[in-house]
Amino acid sequence: MLRLGEKVTVVEDTFEQNLPIGHHAYIIAYDRNPDNAFDYVIRIPSLNRNFFVPAADIELESVVLKQEAERVEREALIDFALSTYNEKLFFQVLNGELESAEEEEETAENLSQADFIKQVNLRAWI
State residue 32's pLDDT score.
86
- pLDDT classification of 118: cutoffs 50, 70, 90: confident
What confidence tens digit (pLDDT) does each residue in 11-68 have? Answer: 999 999 999 999 999 999 998 888 889 999 999 999 999 999 999 999 999 999 999 9
- Res 122 pLDDT > 90: no
**Mean of per-residue pLDDT scores for the chain:** 85
SS3 track for the chain: CCCCCCEEEECCCCCCCCCCCCCEEEEEEECCCCCCCCCEEEEECCCCEEEEECHHHEEEHHHHHHHHHHHHHHHHHHHHHHHCCCHHHHHHHHHCCHHHHHHHHHHHHHHHHHHHHHHHHHHHHC
Instruction: Determine the average pLDDT of the residues in 83-108.
Output: 72
**Residue, of 106 and 94, whose pLDDT is higher:** 94
Confidence of residue 103 (pLDDT cuts 50, 70, 90): low
Cβ atoms of 14 and 54 within 8 Å: the answer is: yes
